[in-house]
């Protein structure tokens, strides 16, 4: 406690008003219709870093900064976007804070922009995976409408809540019993029926049996970009 490590020091409060005015002027000037337009990802990445460096609020700077980046991407696209940028940044929260801290100690923006560009591409892939997953989910639930009992529906919805990457480790009979309150015998019958109807697939045997949702899973790998702009 006597030698704390300072990760970031915001500008003095009396400078924040001027710094935010400069930020807004820069943001408008670099917009697609501005006098000095920047490429979409470059502008979104710099805007986020710029805003976080000014740090105008006591709390909520990260959320607002991510919203600003998404607005910048939407402006470049010319329409609202569904890119899961904020969600992807939060998945890589530790790396995000490390990249921000490094960028605040050096005027060279290249490392930060490489990291941010990788996140932007990953966010795009994550959005596509979620949209495809929601379509498959809707089709599955429509097909199984009125064919499952209350316990099966409850377990199926719990698994679908995990999203495109699926229920981590697969659903076990014990998981099913915990979710539904079913007895061991009822659990066995319910799971066998779900597999027969194509709602789930099974791997392994006996106590090692695991059940996966009956639609394709879509695991989105982390995207990294080197200083030359190539995916690694």
User: With 90 as the cut, is the pLDDT of residue 31 above it?
Assistant: yes
Torsion sign, CA atoms 186, 196, 201, 203: positive
- Identify the pLDDT of residue 123: 94
Range 2-10 average pLDDT:
74
- For tokens 């009992």, name the residue: 149
- Picking from 90, 95, 49, 54, the residue whose alpha carbon sits closest to that of residue 72 is 49
User: With 90 as the cut, is the pLDDT of residue 5 above it?
Assistant: no
Q: Of the residues 126, 153, 180, which one is the last residue of a structural domain?
A: 126
- Identify the pLDDT of residue 107: 83
107 vs 119, more confident:
119
Torsion sign, CA atoms 20, 95, 126, 144: negative
User: With 90 as the cut, is the pLDDT of residue 104 above it?
Assistant: no
Specify whether 68 is located in the same domain as 146: no
Q: Determine, yes or no, domain membership for 219.
A: no
DSSP assignment of 114-172: HHHHHHHHHHHHHHHHHHHHHHHHHHHHHHTTTTS-HHHHHHHHHHHTTGGG-STT-B-
Q: Determine, yes or no, domain membership for 209.
A: yes
Specify whether 146 is located in the same domain as 100: no
Q: Determine, yes or no, domain membership for 102.
A: yes
- For tokens 């495809």, name the residue: 132
Q: Which two tokens stand for residue 153?
A: 């529906």
Range 111-128 average pLDDT:
94
- Whole-number average pLDDT of the chain: 91
State pLDDT tens for residues 58-80: 889 999 999 999 999 999 988 88
Specify whether 39 is located in the same domain as 64: yes
Q: How far apart are CA 203 and CA 211, in angstroms?
A: 6
Q: How far apart are CA 166 and CA 160, in angstroms?
A: 7
Q: Determine, yes or no, domain membership for 113.
A: yes
Q: Determine, yes or no, domain membership for 232.
A: no
State pLDDT tens for residues 50-60: 999 999 998 89
Specify whether 107 is located in the same domain as 161: no
Interior angle at CA 58, CA 54 and CA 61, nearest 5: 55
Specify whether 105 is located in the same domain as 133: no
- Identify the pLDDT of residue 222: 86
User: With 80 as the cut, is the pLDDT of residue 8 above it?
Assistant: no
Return the SS3 of 201. Answer: strand
Q: Which two tokens stand for residue 121?
A: 């591409």
Query: 148 Cβ partners below 8 Å, 6+ apart?
Result: 156, 194, 197, 199
pTM of the model: 0.80
Q: Which residues pair with 201 in a beta bridge?
A: 212
State pLDDT tens for residues 175-221: 999 999 999 999 999 999 999 999 999 998 888 899 999 998 888 88
User: With 80 as the cut, is the pLDDT of residue 112 above it?
Assistant: yes
State pLDDT tens for residues 79-103: 888 888 988 999 999 999 999 999 9
Q: Which two tokens stand for residue 116?
A: 């941010």
- Identify the pLDDT of residue 227: 77
Specify whether 180 is located in the same domain as 85: no
- Identify the pLDDT of residue 100: 92
Please count the structural domains in the chain.
2
CATH code, domain carrying 153: 1.10.10.10
Specify whether 152 is located in the same domain as 87: no
Q: Of the residues 100, 126, 152, which one is the last residue of a structural domain?
A: 126
Q: Determine, yes or no, domain membership for 221.
A: no
Model confidence at 120, pLDDT cuts 50, 70, 90, reads very high
Q: Determine, yes or no, domain membership for 186.
A: yes
Domain that holds residue 47: 13-126
Specify whether 112 is located in the same domain as 165: no
Q: Which two tokens stand for residue 140?
A: 């599955």
Specify whether 30 is located in the same domain as 65: yes
State pLDDT tens for residues 121-167: 999 999 999 999 999 999 999 999 999 999 999 999 999 999 888 88
Q: Determine, yes or no, domain membership for 229.
A: no
């Amino acid at each position: 406690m006597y030698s704390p490590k300072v990760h970031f020091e915001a500008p003095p409060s009396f400078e924040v008003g001027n710094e935010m005015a400069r930020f807004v002027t820069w943001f408008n000037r670099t917009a697609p219709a501005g006098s000095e337009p920047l490429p979409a990802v470059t502008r979104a990445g710099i805007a986020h870093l710029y805003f976080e460096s000014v740090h105008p609020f006591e709390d909520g700077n990260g959320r607002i900064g991510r919203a600003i980046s998404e607005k910048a991407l939407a402006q470049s696209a010319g329409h609202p976007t569904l890119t899961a940028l904020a969600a992807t940044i939060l998945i890589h929260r530790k790396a995000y804070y490390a990249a921000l801290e490094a960028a605040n100690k050096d005027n060279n923006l290249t490392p930060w922009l490489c990291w941010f560009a990788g996140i932007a591409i990953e966010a795009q892939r994550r959005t596509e995976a979620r949209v495809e997953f929601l379509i498959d989910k809707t089709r599955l639930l429509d097909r199984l409408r009125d064919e499952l009992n209350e316990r099966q529906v409850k377990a199926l919805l719990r698994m679908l809540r995990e999203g495109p990457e699926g229920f981590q480790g697969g659903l076990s009979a014990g998981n099913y019993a915990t979710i539904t309150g079913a007895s061991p015998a009822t659990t066995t019958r319910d799971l066998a029926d779900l597999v027969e109807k194509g709602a789930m697939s099974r791997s392994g045997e006996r106590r090692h049996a695991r059940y996966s949702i009956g639609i394709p899973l879509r695991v989105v790998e982390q995207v990294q970009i080197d200083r030359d702009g190539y995916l690694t």
